[in-house]
Amino acid sequence: MKFRTFAAFVAPSILMMLLFIAFPLVSVLKQSFYLTQPVYEMVEVETCTPGFLTQTCVTETKAQPQLDEFGKIVTTTTFVGLQSYQNVLEFGRVKAAWAKRSWSEFQTIDFWKALRFTLTFTFITLPLILGMGLGIALVINNATRALRGPVIFLSLLPMIITPVIGALSIRWLFIGDGILTAGLEWWLERDIAMFAQAWTLELMMMFYRVWHVAPFAAIIFYAGLQTVNQDSLESAVIDGASRWQRLRYVIVPHLMPLIVFVTLIHLMDAYRVFEEVVGFSSQAHVISLQWLTYDFLVPDQAGNRSVSRASASAMLTMIGIVILLVPVLRRTWRDHRGGH
């Protein structure tokens, strides 16, 4: 292929990656080292209230943002280095909690609380999604031709539903007098509050993620099952291999590149978990790194946003994703080199 032809195909992708990935990433990295704050000025404010004969007036000195000639708030930007990262990580509180050997106090630190849930969520849902996806794919593959279409359609329904809507649907089943909660209360003969504890919330959020993403893995694996060498399977049957042995020694090794692909996609997606926190309204008990970044960007009562902390939190989240992906990518690269 000529260089001009190659460049014509690749240039649009490179341009889009630069515009929508590289430049924003550099901007976020830069913002994490700078602190932008509004400039306040002290002004005297007179407040008057009606009285019997005369009104009562009180003069107070208040701080309010300074406005420029166009009515916009005047801000000042200061280079703070790694201070924003220190404010997010809160190493002082971490040391204090470590000295007391207090896990509960450690979990009151937002970043580490969010990191603990994010890692737990990612590593528990990953094997469940791979296992359920492979199981659904095997069911579809072994179904008769007449049933294969309806089975595929039913298995894809959770993936078709919008993530937030799906999370809200699961929440409505369990919250208050929801159908499933009412059924459990009748069966166990006791009151159940699924949203009053962190661990029950986490279980429901993980259940929803597996229910929502497993169909994606199933379709990927089902496509891979169509390319399994039938001669190898027949040879295994002749040699007396059981179903489990055929699955373990023939099918799974054949699907390994697809398993690695689904793993990469899920690691990137699960580490950025956000819809479940919003859908289940779990902010009081369970938060994620992505939600923490969003919370920093929510304006406070004065209308200020912690852009510097949000940028630092976003960069730390991205670093975490890279750390998770490195072992999988190294394995992929090693297998690729071994294949040549």
Ranges of each domain in the chain? 110-339
Percentage of the chain surpassing pLDDT 90? 33
Confidence of residue 113 (pLDDT cuts 50, 70, 90): very high
User: How much is the mean pLDDT over the chain?
Assistant: 86
What pLDDT, on the 0 to 100 scale, is given for residue 1?
Answer: 60
Q: Span 138-159, mean pLDDT?
A: 86
**What confidence category does residue 339 fall into, taking pLDDT thresholds of 50, 70 and 90?**
low
Confidence of residue 184 (pLDDT cuts 50, 70, 90): confident
Among 93-97, 166-170, 220-224, the range scoring the smallest mean pLDDT is 166-170
Lowest mean per-residue pLDDT among 48-62, 84-98, 128-142, 300-314: 48-62
| Predicted confidence (pLDDT) per residue in 57-81, tens digit | 878 777 777 777 777 777 788 898 8
- DSSP secondary structure string for all residues of 208-275: HHHHHHHHHHHHHHHHHHTTS-HHHHHHHHHTT--HHHHIIIIIHHHHHHHHHHHHHHHHHHHTT--H
Confidence category of residue 263, pLDDT binned at 50, 70, 90? very high
**Rounded mean pLDDT of 197-212?**
89
* E-assigned strand segments in the chain: 34-38, 40-49, 56-65, 75-79
pLDDT score of 122: 94
Beta-bridge partner residues of 76:
37
Pick 327 or 179 by higher pLDDT. Answer: 327
Share of the chain above pLDDT 70, in %: 97
Q: Which of 151, 152, 89, 135 is nearest to 115 (CA)?
A: 89
CB of 74 closer than 8 Å to CB of 67: yes
CATH architecture classification, 110-339: Orthogonal Bundle (1.10)
Evaluate whether 275 touches 290 at the Cβ level (below 8 Å).
no
Q: Can you say how many angstroms the Cα of residue 91 is from the centroid of all Cα atoms in its chain?
A: 24
Closest Cα partner for 158 from 113, 112, 210, 119?
210
